[in-house]
Amino acid sequence: MDPIKVDFSKKGGGKKEIVIPPEKAALKIVISIIGTIVAAVIAFYAMLPAINFKSYDFYIYLGIIVIAYAVLSAVLTGVFSKPEYMPYFKRQMIVPVVLIAVLVVVMGIGYLVSSPFFRAEAYSNIIDVRTDSNFAEEIDQQDAESFSNIPKLDEGVAATLAPRALGNLAEKGYVSQFSVYPLYTQINYKGTPVRVVPLQYSNIIKWFTNRSEGLPGYIVIDMANEVTTFQELENGIKYSPSEHFGRLLERHLRMSYPTYLFGDASFEIDDEGNPYWICARLDKTIGLFGGTDVVGIVIVDADDEDGKTTYVPIDEVKNDPQYQWIDRVYDSDLLVEQYNYYGRYQKGFWNSILGQEDVYVTTEDYSYIAQDDDVYMYTGVTSVTSDQSITGFVLINQRTKESVYYSVPGAKEQSAQASAEGLDEIKAAGYQSTFPLLLNIGGEPTYFMALKDVRADGSQIIQSYALINVKQYTKIKVYGKTLSDCLAKYIAQLEANGIKVDIDADEVVDPSTQDGNNENAGTQVEVKTATGKIEDIRTQVVAGETCYYIKLAGSDIYYSISASKSEAAVILNMNDTVTIKYVVKEGAIIPANEIEKTVAD
């Protein structure tokens, strides 16, 4: 038994508690401190909290450190098996308990002083919104060329297309080594709306075998022409969210900037196709925890061996032309949050709860449009008491946070989707609508939607298109199998209602009549035909969709077409005579645009 060292610690009246220190008490304190430091290092490496009192994670991290010290002290003191040491343990815990109490008080006060209840005016001013706007004059009107190149793919369709580009990796010996990382950043690339998609290692084993070379490239999805390409990199991406240990992007950032608060990183490419991670540095601008805003960005060179980082203050990002290529600085969810603060608290906190006079919020979702080489997040704005209609739209530049509200009463985006899906032909086919894209057609705010077939395996194939007038969504609504057909029907309905539109729908180029190469996207190409008897027909499932490969008698070429593009291909047989339309292209397999059965043998 340890020798008993009695310490009558209490002074004055009252019952005195006998404090019995354990043997080698000083050494055990030192060991507890060293163990706590080790626990703190491990916890920091795993949690990666910002060393910043404006971060909730930092308080959790400090709490873990205090608990680690308490547990180690209790174990080394032996308080669980020797109750006589409890008074000594309690005395050892005075400082940790006081520290925890201080943290709780700081968090409580910080939460109160950050609350909209006390700071409603500050929240209403967190974003500056221009309201003296004119939709018909300020939003670029569509012509045949711009309508041909509008984004047609949502994230769901992009997720179906992206894996197709991985076929290029098989030629380089990377079979099944990589998969698509689910991050589909929409940007403007050389004036074209695209989604850029990074890769990830298929599993930890593939990481071990490929980490020295890194991720070999990234995927580019042309949202106008539905073309998917793989862009190979010379060095490979070494820092990403799919890495491990020191090359994990979040850990790389934290070790370089231990006090910064970061938002989610976006993946972008510059005008030369060089990949970067754009990481927004956040700050709490109202009290201790409220008013999240962007104060700068950290640019991580994804193709650099050491993951070179560059910090750029937000004013430089907005005003310096060398950063014009960056499209995603402000996260969409953050912009929605800020606008909702603006819409709720213009007349104070209590008005947002009780009277709700002039209280507006965004609708349930958002999308993106390109304007002046920047990407704008847009969403409908509705009265807090309304459920199906909007008062207008807000467009917010994702690089500069420039915000404009357009007063356009009409249908909510979700109502427009339901209206498109309710058209008899679309309803019968069971197609689903993408989130509406906001267009200016002849001065009329118009919802454009792609209608897609969502298969049982999760793949999504665009089948047709719809246009719905925002203001007269129950009256002016059309759909078409092609862009030109859809636009022609819409123009006819507008003109029937006395609205003149100066667009020639016949000049619209559909994706099916364009070359499957990004370099030629957006230009009209020559379409040829081939007629003959089917000598061989084969099928293959690609990304969940059945593709047909047809060889005509007297030719060595196979023409490929998916079932979604040609209903006739499904019922073709050997020796059927067909006419195939295709874009001039070399190779043993040529993508077909259309197949028509001309003679039934």
Confidence of residue 174 (pLDDT cuts 50, 70, 90): low
The pLDDT tens digits for 405-446 are: 999 888 888 888 888 888 877 887 788 888 899 999 988 899
Those residues with Cβ within 8 angstroms of residue 422's Cβ, 6 or more apart along the chain or in another chain: none
Structure tokens at 375: 């990407």
CA distance 159 to 463: 16
Check whether 13 has a pLDDT greater than 60.
no
DSSP state of 127: S
- Compare 14 and 286 and report the one with higher pLDDT: 286
Confidence of residue 525 (pLDDT cuts 50, 70, 90): very low
Query: What are the CA-CA distances from residue 541 to residues 415, 546, 547 (Å)?
Result: 35, 4, 6
Report the greatest alpha carbon distance in the chain. Answer: 113
CA distance 562 to 446: 30
The pLDDT tens digits for 19-63 are: 777 778 788 889 989 999 999 999 999 999 999 999 999 999 999
Quickly list H helices, 506-580.
none
What CATH class is the domain 526-599? mainly beta
Between the CA atoms of 572, 573, 577 and 579, what dihedral angle is there, to the nearest 10 degrees?
A: 30
Query: What are the CA-CA distances from residue 278 to residues 137, 249, 301, 323, 330 (Å)?
Result: 33, 11, 9, 11, 10
Check whether 538 has a pLDDT greater than 50.
yes
Quickly list H helices, 442-552.
483-496
Check whether 457 has a pLDDT greater than 80.
no
Strand 178-180 to strand 266-269: parallel, antiparallel, or no bridges (unpaired)? unpaired
Residue 84: CA atoms inside 13 Å, Cβ hemisphere, count?
A: 12
Tell me the Cα Rg of the chain: 31
Check whether 512 has a pLDDT greater than 90.
no
**Residue-level pLDDT at 386:** 67
- Compare 225 and 302 and report the one with higher pLDDT: 302
Strand 444-454 to strand 432-433: parallel, antiparallel, or no bridges (unpaired)? antiparallel
Q: Write down the mean pLDDT value for the chain.
A: 84
Check whether 1 has a pLDDT greater than 70.
no
Q: Compute the average pLDDT of residues 454-472.
A: 82
Confidence of residue 516 (pLDDT cuts 50, 70, 90): very low
In a 3-state reduction of DSSP, which class is residue 376? strand
- Compare 599 and 146 and report the one with higher pLDDT: 146
CA distance 150 to 200: 29
The pLDDT tens digits for 558-587 are: 888 877 677 788 888 888 898 888 765 555
Quickly list H helices, 270-423.
314-319, 332-344, 349-353, 413-421
Per the rule left: phi > 0, alpha: psi between -120 and 50, beta: everything else, 213 is alpha
Confidence of residue 502 (pLDDT cuts 50, 70, 90): confident
Query: What are the CA-CA distances from residue 435 to residues 80, 224, 320, 430, 442 (Å)?
Result: 60, 15, 33, 16, 22
**Residue-level pLDDT at 521:** 36
CA distance 271 to 128: 30
**Residue-level pLDDT at 518:** 38
Residue 595 phi, psi dihedral angles, 5° rounding: -130, 125
Say if residues 252 and 300 touch (Cβ distance below 8 Å): yes
Say if residues 444 and 471 touch (Cβ distance below 8 Å): yes
Confidence of residue 544 (pLDDT cuts 50, 70, 90): low
**DSSP letters for 208-235:** HHHTTT-EEEEEEEETTTTEEEEEEEEE
**Residue-level pLDDT at 601:** 46
CA distance 173 to 190: 31
Q: Compute the average pLDDT of residues 592-596.
A: 82
Confidence of residue 15 (pLDDT cuts 50, 70, 90): low
Confidence of residue 345 (pLDDT cuts 50, 70, 90): very high
In a 3-state reduction of DSSP, which class is residue 595? strand
**Residue-level pLDDT at 586:** 58
Check whether 249 has a pLDDT greater than 80.
yes
The pLDDT tens digits for 251-302 are: 999 999 999 999 999 999 998 889 999 999 999 999 999 999 999 999 999 9
Q: Where are the beta strands (DSSP E) in 190-327?
A: 192-201, 215-222, 227-237, 261-262, 266-269, 275-286, 290-301, 309-313
Q: Compute the average pLDDT of residues 92-106.
A: 88
Percent of the chain with pLDDT over 70: 90
**Residue-level pLDDT at 563:** 76
**Residue-level pLDDT at 522:** 35
**Residue-level pLDDT at 169:** 67
CA distance 302 to 276: 5
Q: Which residues of 254-281 are buried (b: 16+ CB within 10 A; e: fewer)?
A: beebeebbbbebbbbbeeeeebbbbbbb
Confidence of residue 523 (pLDDT cuts 50, 70, 90): very low
Confidence of residue 330 (pLDDT cuts 50, 70, 90): very high
Say if residues 38 and 13 touch (Cβ distance below 8 Å): no
Those residues with Cβ within 8 angstroms of residue 305's Cβ, 6 or more apart along the chain or in another chain: 235, 238
Could you identify the residue written with the tokens 């339901």?
A: 418
Per the rule left: phi > 0, alpha: psi between -120 and 50, beta: everything else, 255 is alpha
| Its pTM surpasses 0.75 | yes
The pLDDT tens digits for 113-156 are: 999 999 999 999 999 999 998 888 888 888 888 888 888 888 88
Domain positions in the chain: 7-113, 149-329, 526-599
Quickly list H helices, 16-55.
25-47
Percent of the chain with pLDDT over 90: 33
